[in-house]
Each structure stands twice: as structure tokens, then as C-alpha cells.
Structure 1
């Protein structure tokens, strides 16, 4: 390709990746597609490069048809995709890794948290945990009545081994209440207390992908053994752990770490006994330590969070002043999550920087109106949708998740998937997993089917609108 054609092809591939991100969701896109690069397009073939042989095999077996369908929107004559591993990149990365391991690691002061690199690798094939945000520490976590127990337990397990009585520690609560903040804080504090300790923080989906990779590479034993040498294992989003084999191996790992005096911390959106996708043994083991709920924030905690974030913003922005009257107004009106509160403070600061006008109650009212328009009055969960659909159509929830193809089951199942897409932020693969481990193409078909029925059938449209009102009220 000429340089001009090469640039055009790469721009087209970036558009394909944007569509993939929109269709599959940020988590799936980041796990599988962010590092996929276009080498060239010639003779009806798009040559794509990936980082590992596992990625090459996984994408070809799970996403080939979906990727080529989206790619044909850019190259109408495209006939096939060719996935290849970027071997030179691996050699360079391996050399860099060896050089880094050979060099003495400098001690970094805790105050320079942004410079710290936690020992997150398990040692299996360079499998890394998720990155930590240096801003998410115990110092920046605001404590109130709703999160006091969770905060105290998190401090306990992140210290000098005194937290073994809380093993595993299980944190649960709705989105935006501080679970991930506490997980990051535990990792930072543990590393400060034990610089030589091995810490691994990752999501349940990341654990699953690592284990599947190990199975494909026929190196599962090394993967499991490397995990069992971790001093602190932190798992986020446990509600997404699926598959009997993976659950069984995770349970073995959990038992091995706890029996060996290693600390395990887990977070999910529900308590262990409400995680229906986990088997009974897993739920029992996770609930065997300390289960701490992070409850919805009361008005006092919301005001404390706003005050702390506003104080930080004023320190960083010369001339900015945010009165307690404004903060009290926001604390009364914004009740959903800590992220919503932080977003309000960011908007106040941006309004001041852009207009150079004092922050007034009128500005706060405008921000609240904008935030209220952008959020739903009630956060709907997939469990709520499945329960409501089952009750409305007189079918068992188990039937919705089963493989039964009766029309009386298929239609409610499709409606449930459609409502999940409309009323939650979950991606298509996540919805599919919650409906009996179906793939994203099945979910997409169900959504399009219901959309077509709603456009053709007034009664169906009214039925869907009734279900939406029931779920939102």
C-alpha cells in the first residue's frame, strides 16, 4: 500500500474498532480488541496482528464473523480476516522485561504514589493484574455510617497480617458507593506495609481470561501454582465469575491461599448468598470470612464527600470558592453515588474556569438539572428485570435461563434481553451470560426481534412500556 492508502486503511480500522467498542461494551473491548492492529488490506483480506497466540485463537473462534461483518462496512469486497501474532513485539518486550528484572528497583516514597509500580504480576507468562489508581487510597476515602464497617475491615486486612481473622473479606454494595476505591486502597496500603509482598488485583473477567489462556497453552498447573504464591489476592466484580470449571479452580485457589495464611479480598454488587450464578460451595466459602455491606449514602456522608472534593478543587484552582449553601443543596438533591457527587464538583470547577464567575446556587441548580436528566430515577438490575418478566408472563426464572425453545419461553426471554439493553449499562456479552451463557449475537438478535415487533404491533409496544414503568417505579 502507498502511504496515503495505508493511512486511509488504518483510519477505517479505527472506525471498525469504535463500532466494536459500542456493540460489545468497554470491558469486552478492552480485554480482546484494544491491542488488535491492522497490518494491511490486500486482495480481499484484512491482515490483523495481535499480541498472543491465545488472542489469535480466541478472536478467530469467538468473534471472526462479528468482526468481518463490521469490517465490510469499510471494505465492501472484504472476503476474509487473517490474524497473526506480532512476534518482534514479543521479543522486544521479553528483553525489556529481563532488563527491568535485572536492574535494582529503587525505593519510592509513598507520597509519590503515582510513581509506584505494584508487584501485580503473577509470574505466569507475564499475566498482569489491573492497574491501580494512585488517587484511590484510605486518605481520600470519606467514611460515614454506611461504609464504616467496610472501611475498618479494609484497613485491618491491609496492615501487618492482623486481618487473617477476616479471610476472605467480602465487600458488597451498589455501583458508585466505594467498593473499588477500598480495593485499591487495600492494595496500596498492603504494599506500603510489606514492600516485598506479592499483590494481585484483577476483575473476575480478567481471572477467567487468564485461566482460559492457561488451559489453551496447556499450562494451567503453572498458572494455578503462581496464583497460590500471591500474598494478597483482590478480585473485583465477583458476580461475573462463571463456568463450573473456572469456579472450581477459583475455589481451590481460595482455599489454598487462606489455608496458607494469605489474604483474599472480594467485591461484588450483592452478598455471597445472593450470587445465583455461583455454586453453593463457592457462596459458602466466600461468606465464611467477613461480609461487609457498603450501604447507600446518607445525607451526612454525601455532604462530607462534597466538602472534601470541593476543598481539593479549591486548592487546585486559584480563586475558586464553593459555599456550604451550594454543597448542602447538592447533598440534598444528588443521592445516587459518589461518582455523581464528584461529577457535580468537577462541573462547578469547570463553570468557574470557563466563565470566571463566582459559583452560585443558580449554577448548582443548573448542574443538578443536567445530572438528573442524564440519570434514571431508579437503577435497574438484571435480576429485577428477570423477576418482573417471569412474574408478568407466568414463567419460571429458571426457564428464562434454560435452553428451552418453546414460544412461551423464547418471547419472554427475548423481551428480558431487550429490557436489559434499554434499562441497564451492561454490554451484550454480559447480558448473554446472565441469560444462560448465551453469546452476544443471540442477544443482538433478540433485541432486533423485539424492536421489529414493537414497530409492527401496538399491543407489544404497550406491553414493553408497561414493563419499563413497572421496573422504574
Structure 2
């Protein structure tokens, strides 16, 4: 019937928000949703305008920058009264906002399901997202080029469950050029072909943190069973287990058990196994025993195709209209000389600024809209030592205080902020950061980073400190 779509539009804000939030969660991912959207609530102000009330100004600003536009698109597509959402923090709105939302914002959070980090792909799309996979990273979305053709062929062979496969497979190459995309694509395709198979995807950092938590909670047997019962294990950023013997020992035992049982293992790292000097020889030997596939930096033609494909994907989501002009794509590629991931970030920035005007946009207009995103050249390399000195100066401390054993609050919190910034602004692993903070254990660094991540959405002062320090360090 012609009127069926209109009849399905809703007027009850609670039902609209429940549906819109569910879709938004799927698009932006579990982490950002849980940090910034789930703690917020939709309320009506004195004039009757609907407002998303966030707990802090930092969360409000994040929503405005990253989610409000898409949130309103989803809302308007469902609301029979064509209302729009505004966003304000709790201090601006007044009294605390009781949540009107239902399951979308208040269920299935990481806290409610702490073991989602090793959720099997076979448990369905919702569990897949909780496990860290991204819907858009499929084989269809991957752009093939000379530097990744071999890795792509092996990835497709692995995902097909073909007999006579190489085991393990190790994808190696610089940051941001497609290794994570291929791991995601393998997981999605393997699940599609064998819905009942147990396919696990996780990063090495998640492996490390989940293992540490299992040891602390005396749940190591459950942790081992969860991983060793997999039909396929996909492990990203293997280099981050470097420097921690107990974690490497557990990973080695897991890989040995899976490979001996004929299960499939695919891993990725920033360099070939033989060059990973932080990894112990026995584990390094296992990593190198299978097939190593290089994923090399994309050339100009591949980057142009990536930019074009990303705009097409954003168009299907209704975020842009029309096709970008060739000269706009060329400028994006020529002035974003870094990784494919950085190029996609520039595309997203341009799409958010241009919106429905994309097809009309000239190269000069694109340059103005992108601003800092198209300055050209890689970002300045930031060191741990520089972060420590900047944080110490900001809090009127000495750099030695951050490295000391002192645990008073006046030192402990700046130290945690410094550790958080090291994780965000450098490529150092948790063990490596720990060594640079007076020889601390990687679990101390992990706890510090998590603590700041948890506090930022709820504590404006912490958020302002981190934002100020980040600006100083990036110049």
C-alpha cells in the first residue's frame, strides 16, 4: 500500500529513540555508544523541544561533532511529527535527566557482558559487533592493488574453509593499509559460509587485557576454553604482546592447541614475525612457521579507488549526495600521503562538512572545508619523553614524579593521564609504556588508560586536561 511507510512512522519519543539508538549503536560501534550515548537521555525542555541530555560538556561536544547529524537523520526518518533533537549537557538543562530510552541504550553494554571480547562470530551480528568487528569491512569493500593482491587471495582462501590451507597465516605491513580490514572480511565471510562455526576476532591488546582479568578473577580455565574451542582465531596487532612473558606463554599455548587440532589461525602485525624482537623466540618461531603475507602501502590508483568507494558507502547511508568530482578525489589523495586509514578519515571529514553538496564541491572548496585534515605530510612524531615532560609541566610536577613510586592523588592522576596520552599518541605497547614509567608492569598501564577512558565522559576537568595536553603535543 502507498501509505504503509507513513503509517509506520512513530510519534512516541521513547519508541523513536529506542529504534534510532539501536541503529546508531550499529553504525558508530559499541565503545563510543557506551561512552557517550548510553549515559545520555532524551527529555523535553520547557518549550517542548526534544533534547539529548549528556552527563558532561565533553560528552555534549563529542555528540555534536560526531553523532548529532546522523542522530537527527535517523530520528527524522522515524518521527511522524518531524521533530529534531538538540543536545545539551546536564548543567545546561538543569536536574538530572531520567532516561526514556529502552533496550538500545541501556542493555548489552560491555559491563553487562564482560566476556563479549571473545564472543564467537556464530552468535550473530550483535555479538560480532561486541567482539570488535565492523560491518563495513568486507571483501566487497576492500580495494585490491599490487601491494595487497597476494594477501587478499590468501584471505579469501582462508575464509572459504578450503582444504590444504596454510596455518597460521600472518599478515604484515605498516599501520592503516588494510590488515584489520582483511581480518574483518575473513570473519564475516567465514561466518556466512559456516554459520555454526566458532570464529573469534580480537586484538592482541584485548587478548592481553582479557587474560589479565581472567587471572585476577581466577577464570583462566574459562578463558582458555573460550579461545581453544574456536574453529578460527583472528588476532590483530600481535606486536602488542611484546615484552610480557606470561601473556606470550598463554598465546603460544593457545596457538599450539588450535593448530594441532587443525583449527585455523590468522594473525596480523606491523612487521614480519622474524623482525619482532620483543617477542620470545619460541612464539616468534610459531608465528613464522606458516605463511607470511605482506600488505604494502597503497599506490595512488588504489587510494583514489578507496576514496571513491568510501564516498559511495556514505552515500548509501544518506550522509552525502552525488559523486565527488575527480579533482576533489585527486586532491584528497595527493594531500593525504599517509595511510589508507588517514585517507578515509579525510573523506569522512569532507563528507560531514559537504553533506548533500558533495557533487557540487570544487577542489578549492574542499580544501577550505577540510582545513587541518589536508595540511599534507605525516603528523609530527610524538615521543613518550615529550608526553611526560608536557604533562609534568601542565600539573606543576617534575618528570621524575611521574616515574617515581609515589601514589598520592596529585601524582597518580597525572601519571595515568600521561599513560593514556602515550597510548593514544604513540605506537608503543602497554609493556613498552610501562618500562618508560619507571619499569611498571603492563597491567598498571592498562588500568591507568582504562581509568582515564572511563572518567573523561563523566568528568569535565579530566576531559579538559586531556584535550589541552593533546593540543599542546600536536602543536
Q: TM-score, normalised by structure 2?
A: 0.55
SS in 1 for 2:327: helix
Q: Indicate how the Cα distance of structure 1 residues 163 and 170 shifts in structure 2: closer, same or farther if over 3 A, else same.
A: farther
8 Å contact from structure 2 (residues 320, 354) kept in 1: no
Deviation at 1:437, TM superposition (A): 5.0
Deviations 1:67-102 (A, max 9, x none): xxxxxxxxxxxxxxxxxxxxxx99x969xx9xxxxx
1:141 aligns with 2:142: yes
8 Å contact from structure 2 (residues 422, 433) kept in 1: no
Q: Indicate how the Cα distance of structure 1 residues 335 and 430 shifts in structure 2: closer, same or farther if over 3 A, else same.
A: farther
Q: Indicate how the Cα distance of structure 1 residues 197 and 356 shifts in structure 2: closer, same or farther if over 3 A, else same.
A: closer
Deviation at 1:330, TM superposition (A): 2.3
- 1:232 maps to what in 2? 232
Deviation at 1:281, TM superposition (A): 0.9
- 2:458 maps to what in 1? none
Distance in 2, matches of 1:174 and 1:381, equals 19
Distance in 2, matches of 1:433 and 1:212, equals 15
Deviation at 1:169, TM superposition (A): 1.0
Select the structure of larger CA radius of gyration. Answer: 1
Deviation at 1:139, TM superposition (A): 0.7
SS in 1 for 2:277: coil
Deviation at 1:341, TM superposition (A): 2.1
8 Å contact from structure 2 (residues 383, 426) kept in 1: no
Distance in 1, matches of 2:112 and 2:422, equals 39
Distance in 1, matches of 2:428 and 2:277, equals 19
Distance in 2, matches of 1:237 and 1:274, equals 14
Deviation at 1:309, TM superposition (A): 2.0
Distance in 2, matches of 1:319 and 1:131, equals 29
Matches within 5 A, 1:318-333: 319-333=321-335
Distance in 2, matches of 1:380 and 1:137, equals 33
- 1:17 maps to what in 2? none
Distance in 1, matches of 2:280 and 2:188, equals 32
Distance in 1, matches of 2:214 and 2:225, equals 12
Distance in 2, matches of 1:352 and 1:93, equals 38
1:116 aligns with 2:125: yes
Deviates more, 1:299-308 or 1:421-430: 421-430
8 Å contact from structure 1 (residues 169, 266) kept in 2: yes
SS in 1 for 2:140: helix
SS in 2 for 1:264: strand
- 1:244 maps to what in 2? 245
Q: Indicate how the Cα distance of structure 1 residues 162 and 180 shifts in structure 2: closer, same or farther if over 3 A, else same.
A: same
- 1:132 maps to what in 2? 133
1:291 aligns with 2:292: yes
Q: Which runs of 4+ in 1 moved over 6 A?
A: 354-357
8 Å contact from structure 1 (residues 236, 268) kept in 2: yes
Distance in 2, matches of 1:131 and 1:347, equals 23
Deviation at 1:311, TM superposition (A): 3.2
Number of matched residues?
309
1:215 aligns with 2:253: no
Deviates more, 1:301-310 or 1:220-229: 220-229
- 1:413 maps to what in 2? none
Distance in 2, matches of 1:422 and 1:219, equals 27
8 Å contact from structure 1 (residues 310, 345) kept in 2: yes
Q: Indicate how the Cα distance of structure 1 residues 421 and 249 shifts in structure 2: closer, same or farther if over 3 A, else same.
A: closer
Matches within 5 A, 1:292-441: 292-314=293-315, 316=318, 319-353=321-355, 358-367=360-369, 369-373=371-375, 376-377=378-379, 421=422, 424-426=425-427, 429=430, 431-433=432-434, 435=436, 438=441, 439-440=444-445
Show structure 1 runs of 5+ residues with no match.
1-28, 38-88, 98-106, 109-114, 121-127, 386-402, 404-416, 445-467, 469-473
Q: TM-score, normalised by structure 1?
A: 0.55
- 2:50 maps to what in 1? none
SS in 1 for 2:144: coil
Deviation at 1:194, TM superposition (A): 1.0
Show structure 2 runs of 5+ residues with no match.
1-30, 40-107, 117-121, 387-403, 405-417, 450-472
Distance in 2, matches of 1:218 and 1:440, equals 21
Deviation at 1:168, TM superposition (A): 0.9
Distance in 2, matches of 1:369 and 1:317, equals 20
Deviation at 1:181, TM superposition (A): 1.1
Deviation at 1:333, TM superposition (A): 2.4
Deviates more, 1:133-142 or 1:333-342: 333-342
**Superposition RMSD on alpha carbons, in Å?**
4.5
Q: Indicate how the Cα distance of structure 1 residues 176 and 137 shifts in structure 2: closer, same or farther if over 3 A, else same.
A: same
Deviation at 1:176, TM superposition (A): 1.4
Deviation at 1:255, TM superposition (A): 1.1
